[in-house]
């Protein structure tokens, strides 16, 4: 939006401009010798233009027996007029309204950074009339009218209108508004897509899985807006201070007038000096020092794909010095992969993989899916590619699966069942040693049997995330002194993963309630603890920590609702940025509070001593308010040590 439109659309800034123009006209009229009633009328009009909003706010607060800083400004302006300094009162209200307008303008920029996310979702979608038709005839419908199961067409360069699954087509999609990823992600049939993300150079046919109002983008914007009501400790303390401080100042001013008059000052002199003290003592800058910084910090985090749910969470992140991680889907990818294929003499890697894939093609077990993915990657997928069709496939309780492949008896067995050698052939010494070594490396091993011989074995593992090790190292570099893995997995697997990613401690074989106990022990030993998990099975531990951080929020509704912070993608490396941003926000808050209290202290002393008049006090007071607002606005451009 052009700057002039923003100004005309802001009633506070518009009132300040009108007040300023009238104030300038009044000073010119006074200098050229215009009649006194005219000059007074112009100054009074300037005061009304600049102060009407403050007067209304003060009256509303007084009716509820509450006091705020607007009341102090109104009292000071009325006092100036009462002693014949109507021009000083008009200047006070002009600068007060200008300060409020600029403060609101700065804060609105932070708020627009959030609202801009919601504006990314298109209002109209091209619904496909017949999903099976090759010509994909469409009708234009409002996005809010789409139902779950509707199919829409998204052309190249268009924004995706709904959360859904790709029905047909392939394209790269820019998901940065949701996940913060800087690189477009390739989407093909079966992949999830999100409303508000930008389609690349292909055409996608997308089947809606959520209503418009329940899309990830809509929920994210809604939760960020709600988070503004979740105030941190510093912000709550500042609000309590302001409510108590304002009536104290109102009582102190008459006392100061009496003291000054007892010292020999005339009524006008004492009253004018007391009004200058009243202006200087007004905590306007203090009132906005925390909320403006928190709002800007939350907006900056949202642009980086990090949802921080309120000021309390933003403040708490900056106190964390210990981080507890779940293992699966947090430090690891959560998807098992075939890491190695062990081969008996006389056989090949492909022959072992073909027999295993033939048997696993009829299973939905996660390990079976890992084998099938490996077969596809090796070019062994497709009709009759899995070593022929498997028949009579059945599960062997606690042992594996068996059946026939190409007419020969075949099986995939656990090492224990294979080594026992009671019903099935046992592996040779060399292969047995390789199996034992693989298990020592925390890999899951499946022995493959064909006919009367063991032909090899498959090693499957849930690998660490590619960015896990670098993230742990970065956390240590920014001052996180302890990193702990909490997992229900067995200790061998946990220790292997922990050693790979570089955590300081590993606590394995934990039930959910034991994870909570572990987090509570960490709380007793640390200043603050963050628990990072997938947001579903780790929910109790997330709640027990100082800050609960959910991974993979783009695919987990529970994470958005339950966690204090949600990483809107599986990008673990966003975690250090979240901590750095929180610390920077706390620094900005401290700077703002220091500026606010420092200016108040200096003005009270200077005005009491008569070193500054009412006009100078007004300028310095409002200047500090604007300075605080724009200091907070710097957070919108914060890039930390990693993310733009």
Catalytic residue list: 326
- What's the CA gap between 641 and 619, in Å, rounded? 37
- What's the CA gap between 34 and 39, in Å, rounded? 7
Structure tokens at 202: 């292909």
Handedness of CA 225, 67, 625, 585 (dihedral sign): negative
Q: What is the side-by-side order of every strand in the sheet holding 192-193?
A: 138-142, 124-128, 151-154, 204-208, 164-169, 192-193
Q: Computed over its alpha carbons, how large is the radius of gyration of the chain?
A: 34
**What count of residues does the chain have?**
644
CB atoms within 10 A of CB 10: 17
- What's the CA gap between 414 and 452, in Å, rounded? 17
Structure tokens at 92: 């006070």
Give φ, ψ of 401 to 5 degrees: -135, 155
- What's the CA gap between 522 and 482, in Å, rounded? 9
Structure tokens at 570: 């599986």
- What's the CA gap between 361 and 375, in Å, rounded? 10
* In contact, 601 and 620? CB cutoff 8 Å: no
* In contact, 261 and 270? CB cutoff 8 Å: yes
Residue 399 per-residue DSSP state = T
Q: CA of 167: how far to CAs of 146, 196, 543, 587, in Å?
A: 16, 18, 37, 48
- Residue ranges of E strands in 337-493: 337-343, 390-396, 400-405, 408-413, 444-450, 453-461, 482-486
Establish how many alpha carbons lie within 13 A of residue 224's alpha carbon, considering only the half-sphere containing its beta carbon. 31
In this structure, the strands spanning 408-413 and 400-405 are antiparallel
Structure tokens at 434: 């390789």
- Residue ranges of E strands in 143-270: 151-154, 164-169, 171-174, 185-187, 192-193, 198-199, 204-208
């Amino acid at each position: 939006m052009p700057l002039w439109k923003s100004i005309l659309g802001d009633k506070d800034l518009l009132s300040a401009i009108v007040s300023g123009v009238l104030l300038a006209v009044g000073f010119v009229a006074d200098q050229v010798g215009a009649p006194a009633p005219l000059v007074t009328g112009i100054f009074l009009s300037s005061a009304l233009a600049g102060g009407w909003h403050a007067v209304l706010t003060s009256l509303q607060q007084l009716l509820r027996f509450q006091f705020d800083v607007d009341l102090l400004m109104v009292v000071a302006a009325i006092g100036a007029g009462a002693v014949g300094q109507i021009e000083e009162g008009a200047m006070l209200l002009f600068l007060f309204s200008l300060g409020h307008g600029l403060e609101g303008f700065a804060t609105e920029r932070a708020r627009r950074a959030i609202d801009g996310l919601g504006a990314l979702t298109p209002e109209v979608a091209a619904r496909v009339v017949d999903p099976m038709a090759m010509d994909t005839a469409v009708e234009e419908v409002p996005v809010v009218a789409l139902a779950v199961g509707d199919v829409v067409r998204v052309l190249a360069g268009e924004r995706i209108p709904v959360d859904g699954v790709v029905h047909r087509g392939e394209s790269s999609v820019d998901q940065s508004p949701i996940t913060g990823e800087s690189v477009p992600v390739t989407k093909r049939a079966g992949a999830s897509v999100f409303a508000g993300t930008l389609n690349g150079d292909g055409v996608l046919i997308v089947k809606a899985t959520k209503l418009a109002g329940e899309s990830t983008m809509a929920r994210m914007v809604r939760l960020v807006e709600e988070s503004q009501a979740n105030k941190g400790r510093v912000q709550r303390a500042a609000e309590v201070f302001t409510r108590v401080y304002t009536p104290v100042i109102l009582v102190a001013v008459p006392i100061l007038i009496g003291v000054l008059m007892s010292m020999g000052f005339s009524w006008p002199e004492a009253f004018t000096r007391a009004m200058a003290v009243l202006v200087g003592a007004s905590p306007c800058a203090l009132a906005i020092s925390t909320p403006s910084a928190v709002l800007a910090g939350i907006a900056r985090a949202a642009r980086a794909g990090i949802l921080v749910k309120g000021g309390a969470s933003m403040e708490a992140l900056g106190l964390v010095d210990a981080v507890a991680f779940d293992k699966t889907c947090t430090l690891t990818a959560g998807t098992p992969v075939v890491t190695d294929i062990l081969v008996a003499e006389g056989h090949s890697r492909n022959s072992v993989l073909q027999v295993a894939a033939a048997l696993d093609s009829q299973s939905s077990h996660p390990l079976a899916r890992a084998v099938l993915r490996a077969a596809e990657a090796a070019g062994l997928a497709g009709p009759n590619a899995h070593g022929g069709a498997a028949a009579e496939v059945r599960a062997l309780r606690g042992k594996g699966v068996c059946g026939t492949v190409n007419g020969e008896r075949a099986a995939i067995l656990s090492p224990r069942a294979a080594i026992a050698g009671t019903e099935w052939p046992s592996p040779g010494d060399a292969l047995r040693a390789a199996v034992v070594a693989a298990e020592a490396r925390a890999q899951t091993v499946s022995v493959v049997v064909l006919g009367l011989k063991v032909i090899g074995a498959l090693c499957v593992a849930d690998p660490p995330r590619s960015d896990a090790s670098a993230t742990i190292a970065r956390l240590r570099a920014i001052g996180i002194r302890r990193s702990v893995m909490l997992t229900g997995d067995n200790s061998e697997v946990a220790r292997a993963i922990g050693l790979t990613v570089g955590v300081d401690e590993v606590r394995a074989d934990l039930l959910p309630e034991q994870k909570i106990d572990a987090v509570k022990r960490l709380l007793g030993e640390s200043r603050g603890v963050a628990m990072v998990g997938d947001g579903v099975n780790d929910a109790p531990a997330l709640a027990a920590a100082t800050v609960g951080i959910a991974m993979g929020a783009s695919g987990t509704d529970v994470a958005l609702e339950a966690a204090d912070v949600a990483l809107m993608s599986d990008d673990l490396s966003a975690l250090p940025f979240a901590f750095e941003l929180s610390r920077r926000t706390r620094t900005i808050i401290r700077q703002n509070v220091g500026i606010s209290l420092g200016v108040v202290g200096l003005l009270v002393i200077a005005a009491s001593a008569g070193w500054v008049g009412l006009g100078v006090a007004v300028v310095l007071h409002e200047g500090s308010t604007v300075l605080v607002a724009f200091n907070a606005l710097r957070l919108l451009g914060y890039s930390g040590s990693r993310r733009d």
